[in-house]
Amino acid sequence: MKVSDHVWAIMGFPNVAIIVGTRAVMAVDTGLGPRNGATIAKVAARLAPPNAKLYLTTTHFHPEHAAGDAGFPASTILIRNKVQQDEMNQQGKQVLETFRGRSAQWKELLADVNLRTPDIEYLDAASVDLGGATVRLLWFGEAHTKGDELIFVEPDRTLISGDVVQNKTVPNIAAGGGTPLTWLNVLDKIAMLNAAHVLPDHSAPGDGSLVQQEIAFITDVRTRALALKKQGIPVDDAGKQISAEMKTKYTEWPNTNVANFVKSVYAE
Ligand SMILES: [Zn+2]
Q: From ligand 1's centre to the CA of 118, what distance in Å?
A: 19
Q: From ligand 1's centre to the CA of 187, what distance in Å?
A: 17
Q: From ligand 1's centre to the CA of 243, what distance in Å?
A: 22
Q: From ligand 1's centre to the CA of 162, what distance in Å?
A: 8
Q: From ligand 1's centre to the CA of 172, what distance in Å?
A: 8
Q: From ligand 1's centre to the CA of 64, what distance in Å?
A: 8
Below-70 pLDDT ranges, the chain: none
Q: From ligand 1's centre to the CA of 163, what distance in Å?
A: 6
Q: From ligand 1's centre to the CA of 62, what distance in Å?
A: 5
Print burial letters for 222-231: b (CB count within 10 Å at least 16), e (below 16): bebbeebbee
Exposure of 29 by Cβ count < 10 A (0-12 exposed, 13-18 middle, 19+ buried)? buried
DSSP string over the chain: -EEETTEEEE-SSS-EEEEE-SSEEEEE---SSHHHHHHHHHHHHHHSPTT-EEEEE-SSSSHHHHTTGGGS-TT-EEEEEHHHHHHHHHHHHHHHHHHHTT-HHHHHHTTT--PPPPSEEESSEEEEE-SS-EEEEE----SSSSS--EEEEETTTEEEEETTS-SS----PPTT---HHHHHHHHHHHHHH--SEEEESSS--EETHHHHHHHHHHHHHHHHHHHHHHTT--HHHHHHHHHHHHHHH-TT-S----HHHHHHHHT-
Q: From ligand 1's centre to the CA of 196, what distance in Å?
A: 24
Q: Which pTM was predicted?
A: 0.97
Q: From ligand 1's centre to the CA of 261, what distance in Å?
A: 15
